[in-house]
Amino acid sequence: MKAFLLLCCIGHASALFDELLNGAIIHFGPYDDLFKIGNLTKRYSPLSKDDLHASRNARHLLEAARNVFNVGFYTLPPLDPYKSSDLPPMVVDKHFTLLSGIIHLNHFEMTGAKRFNLNLLEIRNKNGRIDFGFTLPHLNVKVDVQTNLLFADYIPVNIKGKLSLTLSKISVLGAGQVYFKKLVSQLSALHSRVHIGDVAFQFIGSQIDINKMLRESSLAARFNPMSNILDTFKEQLNEYVANFVFEEINKMLAGAPSPSQSTARTIISSMSQENFQSH
């Protein structure tokens, strides 16, 4: 009976991988997880008068900035679309799955960020804590992928192509720890709970014969159920994404504004002043 169940698991994994690597759009369903980097200070209450003023001004600023997401503003690059070609490689640890090696990511592009709906924004000036909450109807992500992996320590898994993700009904609730300096600010901690209603996945590129790979492996009997492999791989992916977002935010905060960003800042300032006067 155990052998039969194992074969079913291997067959299920093979069928799923075949779909993933043949251009099919796969819906993984809902996703929910907690990301934590660094330590947050206390969320004290009530907010002071200065806290409330800063929070209100920041909300107006973000709403005004929505109109220049395509060019960026001040030190922030264009956010919709958001592009990055300098992504760190993702190291896959064989201690967690039968896969080990490196996944290289390049030409990252994300669209849909300007459609955010801000539900919460609280700035605490005394300790530099910022609490936030927002929703997005969807985000579209595209990235070039190239893998240099080994399955069961000796079977190469080399894949190259374009990965597309559609994330629907996104909800984020979290907090960041910011140290304000004279010229720039730095993010020292970021905690967030992320819920995604559905994750759709499509990969177009080189293919691999999973059935052949499993048949040739004398270690096929060690093949974990697909759910276990996805869960353990997700842990490593979560850590990679959290660190990537954290580092990208700090790069934005430390950058120097381009001429177009300075122009956008002027536009935002005038728009936000109109909002302040109307409230």
Residue 197 belongs to domain spanning: 2-278
CATH (domain of 53): 3.15.10
pLDDT (tens digit, 9 = 90+) per residue, 27-63?
Answer: 888 989 898 999 999 999 999 999 999 999 989 888 8
136-to-9, 60, 170, 187 alpha-carbon distances in Å: 35, 18, 5, 23
147: exposed, middle or buried (C-beta count within 10 Å: 0-12, 13-18, 19+)? buried
* Alpha-carbon dihedral 127, 128, 131, 132, rounded to 10 degrees: 170
Tokens of 235: 């842990």
pLDDT in tens, 175-234: 999 887 655 578 889 999 999 999 998 888 876 655 555 555 544 445 444 445 556 666
With tokens 């039969």, the residue in question is 4
Ramachandran angles phi, psi of 180, nearest 5°: -90, 120
Report in angstroms the alpha-carbon separations of 252 from 69, 72, 268. 14, 10, 17
At residue 90, the pLDDT reads 87
Q: Examine the pLDDT at 14 and tell me if it is beyond 50.
A: no
C-alpha span between 10 and 70 (Å, rounded): 45
Residues 245, 251, 253, 257: is their CA dihedral positive or negative? negative
Calpha distance 191→39 (Å, rounded): 8
In total, how many domains does the chain have?
A: 1
pLDDT in tens, 133-192: 999 999 999 999 998 888 777 778 888 899 999 999 999 999 999 887 655 578 889 999
CA 160, distance to chain mean position in Å, is: 21
Contact between 185 and 194 under an 8 Å Cβ cutoff? The reply is no
